C-alpha cells in the first residue's frame, strides 16, 4: 500500500489566496492595510532567510510588512523599547520576534513584553493559557497548520481517534496535543522518557512527530492506515559529497508503505507555518478594528 501524500504546499497556497481576499476586504473596510512587524536580532543565516520569506509572503498576501533589524550586540533595553513601540503602533496588527535570540537576551522576557493581542506567534504565556482553557487567543502557527491538514483529511471532529504526539515543546508538541484534545481525539504525548515508543506509536490513528531527530519514526511503528504528520526539519548529508538534503522525523520511504496518508518533508508542514502566521495576523487585524470575520 502506498500512502496518500498530504500536499501542505498546495494547501498553504490555497490558504494564502483566501487570506489575500480577506486582506482586500479588510483594507476596504478599515481604510488601511493589515500589518505584520518582524524583529530580527543579529545575523543568523537561517533566521535571515525565514524573515525574508515571511516579509515576502506578507506583502504578497496584501498586507504591510515592517522589518526591524537590530545588531547582534543589541541590549535588552533596546529590544524591549522596540517591542513597546510596536505594541503602541496602530498600523501593526502582529509582532513576531524571530527566535533564537543571541545568548545574552532572554527569550521569555522578550516574548512576555509583546502585547498578547498582537502575539501572532502564540508564544506569550497569556496565549498559552488561553489555549489551555479554551479562550480566544493566538495558537502557535506550526501546530495549528498541522491541525488544519489533519482536519482537511479526517474531518473537523476527531472523535474516536487515538493521536500520539511525539515531542512536548512549548511551540509544537504541547499546543498540538491541546488542539487535538479540543478536536475530540484521545491524545498521548510521548517524549524522550517514554518507554517503548514504537508500541505507543503503533496505537495511533494520528501520529504527529515533532522531535528533531532525522527519520527516527520507522515504518513498522506505524499502524496500517494511520495519518502521519511530520513536523521535523533536519538537514542531513546528501547522496553526493558536500551536498545536504532535508528529511523529517519520520522515515518517509518506510512509513509511506504503511500509513494511509503522510506529509512529505519538504512540502508538508513547513509551508503551513508561514501561511498560518499570515492567517493569525489577518485575524488580529479584524479583531483590532472590530470587524466581523466570516469564516
Ligand atoms: P524541541 O527540541 O524543543 O523538542 C523536541 C521534543 O522531542 C522534546 O519534547 C523531546 O523530549 C522529544 N524527543 C527528543 N528525542 C526523543 C526521542 N528519542 N524519543 C522521543 N522523544 C524525543 O523541538 P521543537 O518542538 O522545537 O521542534 C521539533 C522538530 O520540528 C524539529 O525538527 C524542528 O526543526 C521542527 N520544526 C518545524 C517547524 C516547521 O515549520 N515545520 C516549526 C518548528 C519546529 P524531552 O522533552 O523529553 O526532551
- CA 12 to mean position of chain CA atoms: 12
Position 88 in a domain: yes
Distance CA 180, CA 147 (A): 7
Q: What percent of the chain has pLDDT over 70?
A: 99
**235 labelled ligand-binding:** no
Average pLDDT of the segment spanning 262-269: 97
Tell me, yes or no, whether 160 and 110 share the same domain.
Answer: no
Tell me, yes or no, whether 91 and 159 share the same domain.
Answer: no
Position 209 in a domain: yes
pLDDT, averaged across the chain: 97
Closest C-alpha to ligand 1, atom 31: 212
Distance CA 181, CA 134 (A): 11
- 121 catalytically annotated: yes
**168 labelled ligand-binding:** yes
Any ligand 1 atom below 6 A from CB of 211:
yes
Residue 144 contacts residue 131 (beta carbons within 8 Å): no
Q: Which ligand 1 atom sits closest to the C-alpha of 194?
A: 20
Closest C-alpha to ligand 1, atom 22: 192
Any ligand 1 atom below 6 A from CB of 166:
yes
Residue 251 contacts residue 201 (beta carbons within 8 Å): no
Of the residues 33, 54, 174, 223, which is catalytic? 54
Tell me, yes or no, whether 217 and 99 share the same domain.
Answer: no
Of the residues 121, 205, 230, 251, which is catalytic? 121
> What CATH number has the domain bearing residue 197?
3.40.50.720
Tell me, yes or no, whether 171 and 253 share the same domain.
Answer: yes
Total-model pTM: 0.97
Distance CA 146, CA 183 (A): 13
User: Does 8 have pLDDT greater than 60?
Assistant: yes
Position 283 in a domain: no
- 254 catalytically annotated: no
Determine the distance separating the centroid of ligand 1 and the alpha carbon of 133, expressed in angstroms.
Answer: 24
Any ligand 1 atom below 6 A from CB of 210:
yes
Tell me, yes or no, whether 107 and 44 share the same domain.
Answer: yes
Backbone angles phi, psi at 71, to 5 degrees: -65, 155
Q: Which ligand 1 atom sits closest to the C-alpha of 172?
A: 25
Position 71 in a domain: yes
Position 213 in a domain: yes
What the block records as the C-alpha cell of 18 is 483566501
> What CATH number has the domain bearing residue 111?
3.40.50.10860
The residue range of the domain holding 162 is 141-271
Q: Judge residue 198's burial from the number of C-beta atoms within 10 Å of its C-beta, 0-12 exposed, 13-18 middle, 19 or more buried.
A: exposed
Number of folded domains in the chain?
2
Position 288 in a domain: no
Determine the distance separating the centroid of ligand 1 and the alpha carbon of 85, expressed in angstroms.
Answer: 33
Tell me, yes or no, whether 264 and 146 share the same domain.
Answer: yes
Tell me, yes or no, whether 158 and 76 share the same domain.
Answer: no
Determine the distance separating the centroid of ligand 1 and the alpha carbon of 212, expressed in angstroms.
Answer: 4
Tell me, yes or no, whether 155 and 266 share the same domain.
Answer: yes
Tell me, yes or no, whether 172 and 262 share the same domain.
Answer: yes
pLDDT value at position 294? 72
pLDDT value at position 77? 98
ipTM for the predicted complex: 0.99
Last residue of a domain, one of 82, 117, 152: 117
Tell me, yes or no, whether 213 and 102 share the same domain.
Answer: no
Any ligand 1 atom below 6 A from CB of 197:
yes
Position 152 in a domain: yes
Q: What percent of the chain has pLDDT over 90?
A: 98
- 85 catalytically annotated: no
pLDDT value at position 160? 98
Tell me, yes or no, whether 229 and 149 share the same domain.
Answer: yes
**16 labelled ligand-binding:** no
pLDDT tier at 293, thresholds 50, 70, 90: confident
pLDDT, tens only, 20-79: 999 999 999 999 999 999 999 999 999 999 999 999 999 999 999 999 999 999 999 999
Tell me, yes or no, whether 179 and 72 share the same domain.
Answer: no
Average pLDDT of the segment spanning 203-214: 98
Position 145 in a domain: yes
Any ligand 1 atom below 6 A from CB of 270:
yes
Amino acid at each position: 500500500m502506498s500512502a496518500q501524500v498530504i500536499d501542505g504546499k498546495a494547501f498553504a497556497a490555497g490558504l494564502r489566496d483566501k487570506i489575500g481576499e480577506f486582506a482586500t476586504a479588510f483594507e476596504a473596510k478599515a481604510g488601511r492595510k493589515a500589518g505584520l512587524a518582524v524583529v530580527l536580532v543579529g545575523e543568523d543565516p537561517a533566521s535571515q532567510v525565514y524573515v525574508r520569506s515571511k516579509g515576502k509572503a506578507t506583502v504578497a498576501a496584501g498586507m504591510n510588512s515592517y522589518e526591524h533589524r537590530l545588531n547582534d550586540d543589541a541590549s535588552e533595553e533596546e529590544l524591549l523599547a522596540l517591542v513597546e513601540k510596536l505594541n503602541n503602533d496602530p498600523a501593526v496588527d502582529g509582532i513576531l520576534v524571530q527566535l533564537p535570540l543571541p545568548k545574552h537576551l532572554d527569550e521569555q522576557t522578550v516574548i512576555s513584553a509583546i502585547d498578547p493581542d498582537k502575539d501572532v506567534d502564540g508564544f506569550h504565556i497569556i496565549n498559552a493559557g488561553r489555549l489551555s482553557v479554551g479562550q480566544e487567543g493566538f495558537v502557535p502557527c506550526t501546530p495549528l497548520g498541522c491541525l488544519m491538514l489533519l482536519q482537511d483529511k479526517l474531518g473537523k471532529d476527531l472523535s474516536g481517534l487515538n493521536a500520539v504526539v511525539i515531542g512536548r515543546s512549548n511551540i509544537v508538541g504541547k499546543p498540538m496535543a491541546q488542539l487535538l484534545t479540543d478536536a475530540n481525539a484521545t491524545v498521548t504525548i510521548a517524549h524522550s522518557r517514554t518507554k517503548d515508543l514504537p508500541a505507543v506509536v503503533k496505537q495511533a490513528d494520528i501520529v504527529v512527530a515533532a522531535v528533531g531527530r532525522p527519520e527516527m519514526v520507522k515504518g513498522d511503528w506505524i499502524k496500517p492506515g494511520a495519518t502521519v504528520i511530520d513536523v521535523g526539519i533536519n538537514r542531513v548529508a546528501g547522496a553526493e559529497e558536500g551536498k545536504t538534503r532535508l528529511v523529517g522525523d519520520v522515515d518517509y520511504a518506510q512509513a509511506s508503505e504503511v500509513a494511509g496518508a503522510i506529509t512529505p518533508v519538504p512540502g508538508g508542514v513547513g509551508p503551513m507555518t508561514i501561511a498560518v502566521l499570515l492567517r493569525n495576523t489577518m485575524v488580529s487585524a479584524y479583531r483590532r478594528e472590530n470587524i466581523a470575520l466570516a469564516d
